[in-house]
Structure 1
Amino acid sequence: MRNRMKEKLLELIFPPRCAICGEVLALRERKEFFCEKCGGHIPFIPKETCPHCGGKTDTAGFCDFCRKPFAFETACAAFPYETVRQAVHLFKYEGGKQLGEGLGALMAEYLLQYHEELLVKTDLILSVPLHPKKEKRRGFNQTHILCEKIAEKTGLMFQKEGLCRKKNTVAQSTLHTPEERRQNLKDAFAATKDFTDKRILLVDDIFTTGTTCNECAKVLYRSGAREVHVFCLSAAGLQLEQKSI
Structure 2
Amino acid sequence: MLQKFSDNIWDLKEGVVTAIFPRRCPVCDDIVESIKIRNGKLIIGQLIHDNCKKKIRYVRGATCMKCGKPLGQADSSKEFCYDCNRVRHVYDRGFSVFDYRSISGSVYKFKYMGRQEYARFYGRAVYERYGKAIRSLGIDAIIPVPMYKGKQLTRGYNQAEVLAKMVGRELGIPVYTDAVVRNKNTLPMKELDARGRRNNLKKAFNITRNDVKFKCILIIDDIYTTGSTIDEIAHEFRIAGTRKIYFLTLAIGQTT
1:156 equivalent in alignment to 2:178: no
Which residues of structure 2 form unaligned runs of 5+?
A: 1-16, 37-43
Partner secondary structure for residue 31 of structure 2:
coil
1:206 is the counterpart of 2:223: yes
Q: Aligned partners of 2:223, 2:24: CA distance in 1, in Å? A: 20
Q: Is the 8 A contact 1:53 1:66 kept in 2?
A: no
* Corresponding residue for residue 86 of structure 1: 105
- Scaled by the length of structure 2, the TM-score of the pair is 0.76
Q: Deviations over 1:171-207 (max 9, x none)?
A: 11011x3221111111000111236451001111000
CA distance in 2, matches of 1:142, 1:164: 15
Instruction: State how far apart, in whole Å, the 2-side matches of 1:26 and 1:204 are.
Output: 26
State how 1:89-100 maps to structure 2 within 5 Å. 89-100=108-119
Q: Which residue of 2 aligns with 1:119?
A: 135
The 3 A distance-change label for structure 1 pair 58 and 135 is farther
Q: Aligned residue for 1:216?
A: 233
- Quick one: structure 1 residues 57 and 109, their matched pair in 2 at CA, closer, same or farther if it must change by over 3 Å? farther
Greater strand content: 2
Structure 1 pair 117–104 and aligned structure 2 pair: CA distance change class (3 A) = closer
* Offset of residue 209 of structure 1: 1.1
**What RMSD in Å do the two structures reach over aligned CA positions?**
2.7
| TM-aligned CA distance change 1:238 to 1:228, over 3 Å | closer
Q: CA deviation at 1:126?
A: 0.5
TM superposition shift of 1:41: 7.8
Offset, 1:71? 0.6
Is residue 188 of structure 2 the alignment partner of residue 182 of structure 1? no
Matches within 5 A, 1:16-165: 16-19=23-26, 21-27=27-33, 31-39=45-53, 43-50=57-64, 51-52=68-69, 54-55=71-72, 63=80, 66-67=83-84, 69-112=88-131, 116-120=132-136, 121-165=138-182
Q: Call closer, same or farther: CA 1:58–1:165 in 2, change over 3 Å.
A: farther
In structure 2, C-alpha distance between the alignment counterparts of 1:108 and 1:202, rounded to whole Å: 16
Give the drift of 1:26.
4.4
Q: How far apart in 2 are the matches of 1:57 and 1:196?
A: 38
The letter of the residue matching 1:184 is: N
For 1:123, the aligned partner's letter is D
In 2, the alpha carbon distance for the partners of 1:238 and 1:24 equals 32
Q: Amino acid of the residue matched to residue 123 of structure 2?
A: G
Please give the alpha-carbon distance, in whole angstroms, between the structure 1 residues aligned to 2:217 and 2:77: 22
Per the TM alignment, residue 25 of structure 1 is displaced from its structure 2 partner at its CA by 3.3
Instruction: Give the structure with higher Rg (CA).
Output: 2
TM-score norm. by structure 1 comes to 0.80
